[in-house]
Structure 1
Amino acid sequence: MKIAFVHYHLKTGGVTTVLKRQIEAVHGPLDTFVLTGDRAAADLPCQVVEIPELGYDRQIGFLPAADRVAEKMLKVLNEKWPGGCDVLHVHNPTLGKNRQFLQIIKKLQQAGVNLFLQIHDFAEDGRPDLYFEEDYPANCHYGVINARDAAILKQAGLDVAGLHTIPNAVESLAVSGNRCPKPQILYPVRAIRRKNLGEAILLSLFFKNDRRLAVTQPPNSPADAASYRDWIDWVRENRLRVDFEVGKKNAFPLLVGNSESMVTTSVSEGFGLAFLEPWTAGKLLWGRRLGDICGDFEKKGIRLDFLYDRLDVPLVWLDADAFSRVWHDSVFSAMERYGHTVAADTVNQAFDRLTRDERIDFGLLSEKFQRQVLTRLIADASVKAELISLNPWLAHPGEVADASAIIENNRTAALQHYGVNPYRDHLLEIYDRIVNHPVRHRIDKRALRDAFLDFDRFSLLQWGTYDG
């Protein structure tokens, strides 16, 4: 079977990692090939062809003609395989990072190409900048990476015969070094806004014995760069025990080996490899739990019950009136960009729920309001006790009873259920169904949009614009 993979780019990142693991899993049993807008420094076991018009349109500087790009892709595919491929496996096609991308793959579908569209990130899930009105391709197979997304797409009109849940594969993290030159907690992320860097910095204020927070990589996108730069400046001004971009100065296996544990504070994930990979390196993961993501892992026997679901802070620690205005404005702005109308009473009631008992989850705040909370904690050490009273686990951050047993349990479960071998078998089954079982269905974009809209988890880090 001949499988061609398509992605905007092959730069370092989550989707590129998934694509590489897919190719490594099936290359050999299948004949594989990659088409991309930017091959970057790709190290793959198969041929890669770069077609710049498949990249982000803001980077190529124009909107390419869909029919011409489709013709170029068909020409390349036919040169590789006379008669073309059996399946064109396209990653994240529904994001508006290239406004012609949907038209391009629809042209390919019209030419008889079997499409498998794998969605890692939804524009409807707090990404209004990447949302546009065009219908998503119909009558083709779709893939998602968690049970939540499968349920949402089924509700939005997809038939289960053409909807495949394919959780990402987990490989054991390489580890080198076995001691900490300086006690270190690793946050292995590319620090985009939804990773909630401010909360990781807050946690570092409660570290004991001079432990330091180590953040691995900067963001790539301009939308996240300003927030990241401001955090670096703010941390430097306040002389906090936080190190940035450690992944640019050190090999990742060495960082893993020299870290006591790993932490996550993200407010939104697609799959959540961060909840699985640390165990394979014998490291404890702690931090914020995302229920709709972690539920899948917990059903497979992975213990995450010691993670926290929210970090409560007193509302009086920030400019509550300003926060209310910004939050409401962000809600209505997002609704407008999604073409959605919502009653003011509905929004007001949601805000009242978010701030009941005069508290707010720190992860819902934008950076400006997070810094107001952090400034209070830094200025008056006595207020730490108040925060611990609201969040008792802060008294011993990163310390878990029976840590060794939890690590071994989770390592075994992660590799058993999400390892490369079961992943390969599942992917081969999906390709076989795509070739042999045509489907007729379509996504109702309005239903999809509504399914992701949850005012009770409306975080300004995800839905709002950066406000300094």
Structure 2
Amino acid sequence: MKVAFVHYHLKTGGVTTVLKRQVEAIHGFFDTLVLTGDRATCELPCPVVEIPELGYDQPGVSTPAADMVAGRALEALNEKWPGGCDVLHVHNPTLAKNRQFLQIIKKLQQAGVNLFLQIHDFAEDGRPDLYFNEDYPADCHFGVINARDADILIEAGLDRAGLHHIPNAVQGLAGNGGRCPKKPILYPVRAIRRKNLGEAILLSMFLDNEQHIAVTQPPNSPMDTASYRDWVDWVRQHHLRVDFEAGTRVAFPVLIGNSASMVTTSISEGFGLAFLEPWTAGKLLWGRRLGKICADFEENGIRLDYLYDQFNVPLAWIDARTFSRDWHLSVFNAADRYGHPVVVDRVNRAFARLTRSETIDFGLLSEKFQRQLIARLIADPSAKVELVRLNPWLSHPGEVSNPSAIIENNRRAIMQNYGAEQYRRRLMAIYDQVAQYPVCHQIDKRALRESFFDLDRFSLLQWGAYDPG
């Protein structure tokens, strides 16, 4: 079978890693080619054709018409395979990082190419700047990385015969221990806003005095960088036990080997690799559980039941009136940017549910309110007692009974369900279906927006603009 892959770029990142593992998984079984807007320095065991017009939009740079770009892609495919390819596997096509991208792939579909569109991230999930106003391609096969997204797309009109669940493969993490008198708790993350850095900082205040949290990488985007830099300065000003950019100074395997455990506080994930990889290095993971993401893993025997689902804090400890104003304003702004109608009464009822016990989930707060609450604990350490009362697990964060058994159970379950061989079989079966079975369906974008516009988990970290306060 002849399979071609398309992605905006091959720079280091999550989607590039997935694409690379897919190429490696079917190498030697299927004939492959990669089309990309920027090949960067990524090494792949197949030919790579760089077509710059497939890459991200560049400010002030005009691009050729979509049919011209599609023509260049077809030329590359026909040069490799005179009869064309069997499957064109396109990554993240519904994110408008290239405003012509939908038109390009629709032109390819019109030319007879069998499309397999794999969605890792949805613009509807708090990314209005990357939202396409036009319809997504119809009558082609789609792929998703978790069951939640599959259910959402079924509700939005896709036929199960043309929707494929392809969870990411997990490669084991290797840890090389070294001399480290105080083993850190590792947060192996690029600290973008939705990773909820403030919560990791708050957790550090409940650790033993000999422990600290080490965050591995800074973010790249300007908005995430502004938030991150303010957190770095604030933590240093208040002498809290959090280390930043540890991964820029120490090799990642050494950080893993020297860590006491790993933590996650993220409020939103696509696949959720952070819930899987620590176990392969023999490390306990603790922190925030994302129910709709973790359900896939728990169905496969991975124990995550001891993680917390929310982190309740007193509403009275922040400027509650300003928070209410900011939250409501963010809801209406986001709805307006998507062209998504909302009812004021429905919004008010949702906010009442979120604050009904005069508490709020810390992960729903923006950075300025998170800092208000942490400042309260710094000024009055005895206030920790109230947070422990609201969140009993805080009395022993990161501690579980019989951790060795949990680590071994989860490591085995991960290798059995997310290993390379299982991934290869799933991927090859999907390509067979894409090549052989036409489908007739289309995504209802209104229904898709409605699924993600969930007011009961509407976080200012994900949906609101950064406000340093």
TM superposition score category, shorter chain reference: over 0.9
Residues 26-73 of structure 1 deviation map (CA, whole Å, 9 limit, x = unaligned): 111111221112222212222222222112114684444211111111
Give the letter aligned to residue 317 of structure 2: W
* Residue in 2 that maps onto 1:311: 311
Partner of 1:243: 243
Cα 1:163/1:208, change in 2 over 3 Å: same
Aligned partner of 2:5: which letter? F
TM-score, with structure 1 as normaliser: 0.98
CA gap 1:50/1:248 in 2 versus in 1, 3 angstroms? farther
Cα separation, 2, equivalents of 1:245 and 1:443: 41
Could you say what secondary structure the match of 1:123 adopts? coil
Distance 1:9 1:221 in 2: 16
Moved more, 55-64 or 28-37: 55-64
Q: After superposition, where does 1:43-192 map in structure 2 within 5 Å?
A: 43-58=43-58, 61-177=61-177, 180-192=180-192
Give the structure 2 partner of residue 232 of structure 1.
232
> What one-letter code is carried by the residue in structure 2 that aligns with 1:334?
A
* In structure 2, C-alpha distance between the alignment counterparts of 1:103 and 1:430, rounded to whole Å: 24
Cα offset for 1:178?
Answer: 5.5
* CA deviation string 1:127-157 (max 9, x = no partner): 1111121100001100001111111111111
In the TM superposition, residue 106 of structure 1 has moved relative to its aligned partner by 0.5
Given that residues 138 and 440 in structure 1 are in contact (C-alpha distance below 8 angstroms), is that contact kept between their aligned partners in structure 2?
yes
Secondary structure of 2:4 counterpart:
strand
> Residue 142 of structure 2 contacts residue 164 of structure 2 at CA under 8 Å; is this kept in 1?
yes
Aligned residues: 468
Work out whether residues 314 and 360 of structure 1, in 8 Å CA contact, stay in contact via their aligned partners in 2.
yes
Q: Secondary structure at the match of 2:117?
A: strand
- Structure 2 counterpart SS, 1:32: strand
Q: Are residue 265 (structure 1) and residue 265 (structure 2) matched?
A: yes
Distance 2:439 2:55 in 1: 29
CA distance in 2, matches of 1:74, 1:181: 58
Change (3 A) 1:282 1:66: same
- Take 1:34 and 1:60, find their aligned partners in 2: how far apart are those partners? 27
Aligned equivalents of 1:232, 1:50: Cα separation in 2: 38
User: What is the identity, as a one-letter code, of the residue corresponding to 1:269?
Assistant: E
Flag the 1:175–1:381 CA change in 2: closer, same or farther, 3 A. Answer: same
Q: Distance in 1 between matches of 2:191 and 2:59?
A: 21
What's the counterpart of residue 301 of structure 1?
Answer: 301
Does the alignment pair 1:34 with 2:34?
yes
- For 1:325, the aligned partner's letter is R
What displacement does 1:280 show? 0.7
- 1:2/1:378 Cα in 2 relative to 1: closer, same or farther (>3 Å)? same
SS in 2 for 1:164: strand
Contact 1:190 1:216 in 2 (8 A): yes
Where does residue 457 of structure 2 map in the other structure? 457
Letter in 2 for 1:93: P
Mapped partners of 2:219, 2:72: distance in 1: 32
Measure, in 2, the Cα distance between the counterparts of 1:56 and 1:206: 43
Counterparts of 1:47 and 1:259, CA distance in 2: 39
* 1:425-436 mapped onto 2 (5 Å cutoff): 425-436=425-436
Q: Name the CA distance, whole Å, in 2 between partners of 1:246 and 1:51.
A: 36
Q: Which amino acid aligns with 2:261?
A: S
Contact residue 114 and residue 435 of structure 2 kept, 8 A: yes
> How many Å separate the matches in 2 of 1:460 and 1:63?
35
| Residue type of the alignment partner of 1:455 | L
CA displacement 1:65-99 (0-9 Å, x = unmatched): 21111111111222222222211111100011111
Task: Tell me the distance in 1 between the aligned counterparts of 2:257 and 2:110.
Answer: 51
After superposition, the C-alpha distances for 1:340-385 in whole angstroms (9 at most, x for unaligned) are 1111111011001101111000000011111111111112211111
Whole-angstrom distance in 2 between the partners of 1:432 and 1:312 = 48
* Aligned mates of 1:60, 1:246 — CA distance in 2: 36
Structure 1: distance between partners of 2:91 and 2:242: 34
Using the alignment, how far apart are the partners of 2:344 and 2:391 within structure 1? 32
Tell me the residue number matched to 1:386: 386
Identity %: 74
Q: Which amino acid aligns with 1:68?
A: M
Query: Displacement, 1:386?
Result: 1.2
3-state SS of paired residue (2:138): coil
SS at match of 1:382: helix
Contact 1:52 1:60 in 2 (8 A): no
TM-score normalised by the chain length of structure 2:
0.97
Structure 1 256/61 Cα, relative in aligned 2: closer, same or farther at 3 Å?
Answer: farther
Contact 1:290 1:309 in 2 (8 A): yes
**Shift of residue 249, structure 1, vs aligned partner:** 1.9
Matches within 5 A, 1:274-285: 274-285=274-285
- Give the drift of 1:179: 5.5
CA offsets per residue over residues 97-138 of structure 1, 9 Å max, x none? 111111111111111111100001111111111112110000
Aligned partner of 1:417 in structure 2 is: 417
Alignment of 1:348-367 (within 5 A): 348-367=348-367
Q: Is the 8 A contact 2:286 2:307 kept in 1?
A: yes
Q: Give the Cα separation in 2 of the matches to 1:261 and 1:436.
A: 46
Q: Distance in 2 between matches of 1:245 and 1:5?
A: 33
C-alpha distance in structure 2 between counterparts of 1:79 and 1:208, whole Å: 62
* Partner amino acid, structure 2, of 1:196: N
1-structure distance, mates of 2:398, 2:209:
12
The structure-2 alpha-carbon separation of the partners of 1:59 and 1:171, relative to structure 1 and needing over 3 Å to count, comes to farther
CA contact (8 A) 1:365 1:459 kept: yes
Post-superposition offset of 1:464: 0.8
Aligned residue type for 2:289:
R
* Aligned partner letter, 1:424: R
The question of whether the paired residues in 1 share the 8 Å contact of 2:191 and 2:197 is answered with yes
Alpha-carbon displacement from aligned partner over 1:404-424 (angstroms, at most 9, x marks no partner): 000000000011011111110
Which residue number in structure 2 is paired with residue 344 of structure 1?
344
- How much has 1:442 moved relative to structure 2? 0.7
Letter in 1 for 2:295: G
**CA distance in 1 between partners of 2:189 and 2:48 (Å):** 27
Q: Secondary structure at the match of 2:381?
A: coil
CA distance in 2: counterparts of 1:348 and 1:433, whole angstroms:
46
- The answer to whether 1:290 aligns with 2:309 is no
Question: Using a 3 Å threshold, how does the CA distance of structure 1 residues 71 and 302 change in structure 2: closer, same or farther?
Answer: same
| SS at structure 2 position matched to 1:357 | coil
CA contact (8 A) 2:94 2:132 kept: no
Where do 5+ consecutive residues of structure 2 fail to align? none
CA distance in 1, matches of 2:62, 2:259: 44
Deviation at 1:245, TM superposition (A): 1.5
